[in-house]
Structure 1
Amino acid sequence: MKWTKPFLAISIRSKIIILCIISSLVPLVLIASFTFIYLSKAIEHKFSDTTTNLLSSINWNIQTFVNDVEGISKLMLSSRDVQSFLTYNKDNSKEIYRLQTVTRDFAINMTNNKSYIRYLYVGSPQRELIVTNQWDALTNDNIYGAVTHSQWYSQVDDIQGRGIWLNSDEFHILKTPDLLLYGKRLNNLDTLEPIGLMIISIDRRVFDDMFRDINKPANGNLLILEQGRVIYYNAQTGTQNPLNEQDLKAISALPDKGTQIQTIDGEQYVITFDTNASTKWKVVSMIPYNSINSEIAFIRNLTIGLTLVAFLLAAGGAFLISDRITKQLTLLTSVAWKAARREEIEGIHFKEKDEIGRIGNQFIRIFRNNSELTDKLMEAKLKEKEAELIALQSHINPHFLYNTLNSVYMMAEKIGAKNISKMVMSLSNIFKLSLNNGEYITTVGNEIEQVKNYLEIQNIRYYGKFDVEIDLEPGIEKVSMLKLLIQPLVENAIYHGIELKEDKGSIFIRGRMNESELLFEVEDDGVGFDPTIARPRGYALKNIQERIQLHYGQEYGIYVDSSPGVGTKVKLVIGIMK
């Protein structure tokens, strides 16, 4: 491709640097992108989950508080003294005073145990009682009459004895406005007819105490809305009502539960909200979107910074690696040029910390070994030429000796020296078979014939000191084998076995053949030796063993078995030549 030509034309060092940078930059960019997206989503989910858990905790606290207030109302309703105080209609001031005192004590006990109660009011058409935790003037002498003529009372009356949380903006029992009111109609325990009214006013401190141990959202607002009115806020805005009317209506119109992003007073907020099932109060968390975005921006900047650092480290590593690789390659190129010109490679050594260094040193070793082998080959060729010259010069000597021995044999026959003629003839035959026309391969028949000639000479020398028995498998004579393998074994049998024996001895020579092997045995009944003390020695046996293994393989060779006073048996195993 055309666009690859400029890349292929640059140096290896530049290619390595470019490839390293690209191979590191692409994964880094992908990893950084996915990491940023993942962490951004994780931060958003963390804020959402944290806020949702916060609102659930607040909702649970509100429900606990509501259950507590309802429990107080049930205690007031179930009190016979309170029932009697509200319904007693006789003109007995002493009894009325007693009932009022008992009711007041009971109410005081309720309010003292619950610090968040501003006041507790019970009233009926006959009489009424209010107990306050905070000293404040009443707004009306006939509280019951004022309450029963309000729309607020009609809501209490409509639900027939169940409690209701009410907005106190319509009227005030005390001059200080109430935060929250809990109202409930009191019914007769026996007839279930309405007998009066109970009102519990809640102080703001209930929410301060409720949220004291809850981790509020950082840089955010926490609101509680009741019927479109803010009944609690976390005071971080520094105003009584942190929302304008339009924003308050928008938040009040939100569903019962969820998370949305809205613009409040020109700033984006993440709004998470939940509604209490009993009171219908809406708990709202407002976190500026910049708070979340600042963490995301920090993650983004951190990711970019780490990516740049990793890229710079990768680029630096690419430069170092390319320098190291190309330095070794340059040195290897220089060695290759010297090897091509057959120059001496001295003083060059590669650092074997990487593959190139190991290859370079191996190349130098191979080059030096090849140089040595070349020198030895040249030397061997010179010696071969010298050996050919010597063989040519001495070629006449064997024929001269052979002809001379024949002449001696003829002279011995003429004068009737039978032993001399036998020895000369046997020696002549040995000499002829040893020459074998210059070949190192002979037949089993020729090898045995040479052994017979040798034994005949030795028997004359030793005056018939031993007998010889040769047993060959029929047809084995024509099988090829290396020459001069059996004769040295027979010679050892004579010199190391029979010669040392006092009386006459015997030598047995056997030859067998199977599908893949030739097996020869040379056995004598000479003096023998102990294999555990002495080992068979001599150049002849070593030479035979090396020749056999060199030509036939390591699985073939000679095996010696001997016993003192019994004799020695040598087995010779070779392969069959094809």
Structure 2
Amino acid sequence: MLAPMRLALRRMRPRKLRIRILLAMVMLSVPPLILLGYISYNISKNTIVRNHMDNNEHNLKTASEVADLLLRNVVNMHRLILANDQVRADLEAVGEDGGRTLDVRAANRLQNVVVSNLIDTRHIDSICLFDRGFHAVCYGSTDANAGIYASPQGRLAIAGSSWYREALTAKGRELFFAYNVLQASPSSGSFSSVKVLRDPSDYETIGLLVINLKKSMFGQAMNDNQDSGFLVLDPAGSPVTVVYAQDPALVQKFADASGEEDAFRALHRMGYLTIGYRNDTTGWTFLHVVKASRLLQDSTRIGLATAWFAAFIGLIALLLSLFVSGSITRPLLQLKKMMIDWSKGNGEQAQRTAFDEDEVGAIGETFRRISTENVQLSERLVHSKLKEREAELRSLQAQIKPHFLYNTLDSIYWMAVIAKNKEIAAMAVALSESFKLSLNKGKETIPVFKELKHIEHYMTIQNLRYKGRFRYVAEVEPELMSLEILKLLLQPLVENAIYHGLEPKIGEGEVRLTGQLRDGMAIFTVEDDGVGMESQEQTQGGYGLGNVRERLALYYGPDSALTVRTAPDEGTSIEIRFRPLDIKEG
């Protein structure tokens, strides 16, 4: 059996040594590179997919938590409206016969409850309160109304609607629907939260509350490129209901899916990778999808580069074999000697073996150099890809931080409201608004009236800390109110008056801020009746006044000035004057 095989192999072996060398060089160089490319491709593919899944699972969890804060605010608003004695009295006074309905006073009371308890109403589309006869009063945009149920015929249809029957069976719980229950079109840009209002004393139904939210709230949670998308799905629907989709074209890819799992399978068949996260408040699925070909394009490049590299090495081997046949004996003897040295364990001697500048020597040196460079190139490539993914992750996390801070302050506010701690609630509102004004959407200038609002929030926080010791008076001419000035120009002066003037003083104190426009110059003065200072040199040591003085000179030029007048036990007066840029340009 073995003998015929040896005979067949011997006959297939080329007779010419040049062809043997050619085949040997190609077989020794190309297959290892192909194997290396295949392994590198699969490793990079698996690493990229795993990192994508891990990163987006974390991002989806963070986005769900951000949405939960907003949705829990809506749940709290349901309960605050029901807990309001006046609103509940209006609903209880309405009879089932329709003789009396909700009027303008009820609408005003609803508006007062909403405005006094919500910090951020950007995502509220409308709030509609229905009595037992389904007459409604609404708060929201100028055209906020009961939609298709605003007419007498529409009111009669509410009791038979599926969403109302489902709300009745919820026993007072707040329900979230994937569509706006008050609109005829399910594709509107809002969705609803519904609660049947019941009398706490006898648990009788006294009304209905519908809060409609803008679906655009989900768009702030994730940023996607043209090859990926973010969706919110309601798994309870059949076919699956899409609550929100940043790319409407993605919805068409699973429009006929009977359920959530069927939708996932449809996306997978079309070459998409999916990862989902279940939202705790609504039970909806936050889904991120990305085109697999786009995600794995780097791995594909590695595979193609390796294939081209293997082809290049094969070409080199072919060319070298053409020149090695004429002087093959001596290089082969050198190779034999090197192998003998290796077999005797004399590896260092073998490494010092010198090759002549012939074909065999060129093949050996070239292959050794290329292998070393290939290892180094692979290491640099993997390191570069890891750095790129880390930079992308840091960028995504940085986009969520401001939302996290705002929503954290919002949560502190609601916790204080529920705990009936008005001081903490007021401080949380003041700090949130102060932070928004300080950021000012990245702009360097701010209207005077917003700077004054910033000072008012600051004084609110200080008076909460010091039990109302400080009184703040602002007397600014009306023509200055809309003037754009450098932000944080006046607030540090008031802060300096508190810490260096009024805080060391025993008893109450007053800070007075005046502003006027004289001969094209804006003049602002901050005075306090505090302990004062022995010399003006004490004002040079602080960071606040020095910072204001430098920014004033840099922005408004040498015509600007900051003047300090102070004396022990007589208080301190700080005056800044400058020529506003918009007046100067005009």
Short-chain TM bin: 0.3 to 0.5
Larger radius of gyration: 1
Q: TM-score, normalised by structure 1?
A: 0.45
